[in-house]
Structure 1
Amino acid sequence: MKKRNVYQKIGVKKLQQIKNAFICTVLVVIMVVVMPIPVVSYGGENNKENTAVTVSDRKSEDFKVIGYYCGEWFDVPVEKLQSDKLTHIMYGFLIPKEDGTCKPFEEPEEIKLLIEKCHSTGTKVFVSVGGYREKDGTPLFPVFEKIGADDNLRKTFVDSIMAVVQQYGFDGVELDWEYPRYSSSADYEKTVVQLSEKLKPMGKGLSTALPGTGSTDGKNVWEALAGVTDKTLSCFDFISLMCYDLSTDPNHSPIWYANTTINYWKTYRNIPAEKLVLGMPLYARPSWQQYRFLVEMNRQYAYTDFVDTEPLKSTYNGLNTLREKTMIAMRKAGGVMLFDVNEDTYDDTSVVSMIDDTLHAMGQLDQEQINNYIWVVMDNKPLVFNPKDGMGMPFIDENNRTLVPVRKLLESIGANVSYSNDAKGKTESVDADLKGTHIKINIGSEKYSVNDKNLTMDTVAVIKDGRTYIPARAVLEAFGYDMTYSPAGRCVYATSNH
């Protein structure tokens, strides 16, 4: 679930670590008291391996990049928002009252500036209604349930929301009722239907945010999901999936959780891929450290998912994991969502920019090519391959090994590459030199040599479509790189140990 009204306004200037530690301790106490955390007992090893890529019917031009913007929580200037790289902003939060009206915004002028900026870049702005609790920690679901159960209060509530939409010029509404229960399911449906009937004739959008699930068979699903009726779901233009704050995994937002959640909605609720938006956190747990502050401590923290901060540890999603999740969304869903976009950085470690770069890299590929795409990440820097540049595309061979176009890979690390041809001009071997290490790879053979020492690998280099491909692991390990492969996002990671 999303963090709700916990932060006081936090500036962007550098914070002392002891101050961070104190703030984080206070936040954790608050969160433990007022926030229920989803417990998923069926998210075991089998779920982590549930990473098969499926063909999505998503159209690339419809891919959503959504950022929550809780302006009253932060003092980040509106001018810093990278609205040109986002399709939607969810402005939070419009707080309902028991009489069906809504509390006025604390910073109305900021909202006007935000909407003006976003509209200038073609970005839509929705108002997010509700959240889990008020700033003082009071849960909002009893207020929602009271309003939903009364015809008059419900009408007042819908009219109040519509007045705000018209006053500020919002492009739509996100109903963030956290969370519907079986007992309130019918009232939730009535509220959503009435909102939809008001919004749709005006050309305004309607969305919601719902929690993740670890269920792999559609059973034992939390009532916050199972209690949402098909009629209710049909009213939403899209659903943001809050795949974070999990309590039964070392990381509160693991990749497998994204996969099981998307699979539940597509397989067991028949929601089309384009209506599903994968939520991704920009904060850590249990420390509640923001991504931007972790990177401020050490830039390398942008590329990992764990930091041993004090007094509480930080598990989160770094750039590499978030890139993999973005690819999962491109293959299986209809977009990604960040909570909260103000927790991002504004340099080359920016998550918003990484997502934008990823979309641009995939921009000229069709859906099958996106599904089969293999990322090669060298020392945390992605090496982009495009079929139109004529340099070849990485692929997985019949031995389940990743083969990569030789020249682009090796020249990216500064190696000198040469080829030996037979009498007919056909390439027989590839030679590469880097910092005193010489590698010779024979095409079509498992034999290769490193500094004249003969070795054997478990696959072979090949020539395909006129390009020479070499096994990434054997070659890069010889040059001193540690190699890992993530099947979830189809990513090869090479980290220099020099």
Structure 2
Amino acid sequence: MKNRFWIAVLFIVVILGVQKSSAGITLTVPGKNPGFKIIGYLLQSDIAAGNAANFDFTRITHLNVAFINPDQNGNFPVFSGLSTIIATAHQKNVKVMASIGGGSAPAYYATLLADSSRNDFIKKLVEVAVTNGFDGVDVDLESTRIDNNYENFVTGLAAALKLKGKMITAAVATAYGTQYTDKALSQFDFINIMSYDKTGPWNLSNPGQDAPYDMAVDDLTYWSTTRGIKKDKLNLGVPFYGYGFGTNAPSSISFKNLVAQYPGAENTDQVTLPGGGIIYYNGIPTIKSKVQLALQKAGGVMMWQLLQDTTGDLSLLHAINATIAGHN
């Protein structure tokens, strides 16, 4: 019996030692970036349309489905395609989160988070997570949605989710940093820093990079040093899109379309167009540098959003996977 026991143990160790994703990252070997998270967002609309059917989930560790928002009464609709995508992700050991809110979150969130309706809304939100098989809820409430009720909401939601064995995470922006209380931040299992959108089509008088490298440095410094959040709870967000300024420039463009239209664009951070307009974005070298930064200063990386990436060797996610795999 003892021999059989040790043979079984050896077999398990060997299997774990060779288990790899198709991107070549060893996810289960102790000491090889253990626990480093690769978090990507997928739009619910893309899931419903079947656009995410062929996505390779071995390349990420967490999937955030955006956005799972209620109506003004706090009731959630039936979301098409969720069960299939969640089951597929779970088969690859990927955690799936229901992300609520977003940059254009409905104004009635203020009412749903108020004292009179908060508990009922939390109950319905937890029910959505449990019924659909989500592993937790990702709270992406921004700007004025981070109001005086935010702390009580995330505290109540965290307690209710943990009773069901679920996680709670957050997407945060340093621009709103002072609006998050320490108590609210302490509720989250981890935090995704939206280190992008420094400028964009809403601010045409201020053209330039929406996600420069120094922004990533400053953001990580703020959340780790100023706010005292531990390294392994922070994930650095990177963009899979760009913004255009000036003549002939699109207001926004996916990295996928960018490299298809402008060969060689993957190796730089901007493209100058005929007429003088400029598209700003993060190319492969900058993405690799940010991943190296995250490997030193954070517990993972986050991408907005996965289907804006291209495929093959020019893929930004491929660059992320390769950088993590090659890290010593």
TM-score range, shorter chain: 0.7 to 0.9
1:373-428 alpha-carbon deviations (Å, 9 max, x no partner): xxxxxxxxxxxxxxxxxxxxxxxxxxxxxxxxxxxxxxxxxxxxxxxxxxxxxxxx
What is the aligned-residue RMSD (CA, Å)? 2.1
* Residue matched to 2:261: 297
Aligned residue-pair number: 284
Partner of 1:179: 143
Q: 1:283 to 1:321 in 2, by over 3 A?
A: same
2:35 corresponds in structure 1 to 62
1:55 corresponds to: none
Match of 1:92 in 2: 66
Distance (Å, rounded) in 1 between the aligned partners of 2:296 and 2:257 = 31
Deviations 1:434-470 (A, max 9, x none): xxxxxxxxxxxxxxxxxxxxxxxxxxxxxxxxxxxxx
1:107-143 Cα distance to aligned partner (Å, 9 max, x none) = x2x211211111111111101011122xxxxx52x32
How many Å separate the matches in 1 of 2:273 and 2:232?
Answer: 38
SS of 1:84 mapped into structure 2:
helix
* Corresponding position of 2:21: none
Q: How does 1:309-388 map to 2 (within 5 A)?
A: 309=273, 313-362=278-327, 365=328
- TM-score under structure 2 normalisation? 0.81
Identify the match of residue 56 of structure 2 among 82, 85, 93: 82
Q: Larger relative contact order (C-alpha < 8 A, sep ≥ 6)? A: 2
Secondary structure of the structure 2 residue equivalent to 1:239: strand
* Distance (whole Å) between structure 2 residues aligned to residue 180 and residue 269 of structure 1: 20
Q: Deviations over 1:15-73 (max 9, x none)?
A: xxxxxxxxxxxxxxxxxxxxxxxxxxxxxxxxxxxxxxxxxxx9821111000001404
Amino acid at match of 2:234: L
- For residues 117 and 73 of structure 1, do their structure 2 counterparts lie closer, same or farther at Cα, with a shift above 3 Å needed? closer
Q: Find 1:127's aligned residue among 82, 86, 98.
A: 98
Give the structure with the larger helix fraction: 2
Q: 1:173 and 1:310 mapped to 2: Cα distance? A: 45
Partner-residue secondary structure (3-state), 1:112: helix
Q: Does the alignment pair 1:272 with 2:230?
A: yes
Partner secondary structure for residue 61 of structure 1: coil
Name the one with the larger strand percent. Answer: 1
Note if 1:169 corresponds to 2:133: yes
The residue number in structure 1 matching 2:196 is 244
Larger Rg: 1
Give the direction of change, closer, same or farther, for the CA distance of 1:231–1:160 in structure 2 (3 Å limit).
Answer: same
Contact 1:89 1:124 in 2 (8 A): yes
CA contact (8 A) 2:109 2:145 kept: no
Evaluate the alpha carbon distance shift between residue 235 and residue 252 of structure 1 in structure 2; reply closer, same or farther with a 3 A threshold: same
Deviation string, structure 1 residues 348-380 (Cα, Å, up to 9, x no partner): 111111111111111xx2xxxxxxxxxxxxxxx
Distance across 1 between alignment mates of 2:71 and 2:285: 41
Q: Aligned partner of 1:111: which letter?
A: L
Distance 1:294 1:206, change over 3 A: same
In the TM superposition, residue 245 of structure 1 has moved relative to its aligned partner by 0.9
- Between the two proteins, what is the percent identity of the paired residues? 32
Runs of 4+ in 1 over 6 A off after TM superposition: none
| Distance of aligned partners of 1:346 and 1:104 in 2 relative to their CA distance in 1, 3 Å threshold | same
Structure 2 Cα separation of the partners of residues 291 and 230 of structure 1: 36
Q: Structure 1 residue 309: deviation in Å?
A: 4.1
CA distance in 2, matches of 1:306, 1:163: 45
Uncovered stretches (5+) of structure 1, i.e. residues with no partner: 1-57, 134-138, 213-221, 366-498
Q: Take 2:207 and 2:229, find their aligned partners in 1: how far apart are those partners?
A: 26
Cα distance in 1 for residues equivalent to 2:145 and 2:170: 15
> Measured at CA, do residues 346 and 145 of structure 1 come closer, stay the same or move farther in structure 2, by a change above 3 Å?
same
Q: Which amino acid aligns with 1:129?
A: I
Distance in structure 1 (CA, Å) of the matches to 2:96 and 2:321:
19
- TM-score, normalised to structure 1's length? 0.54
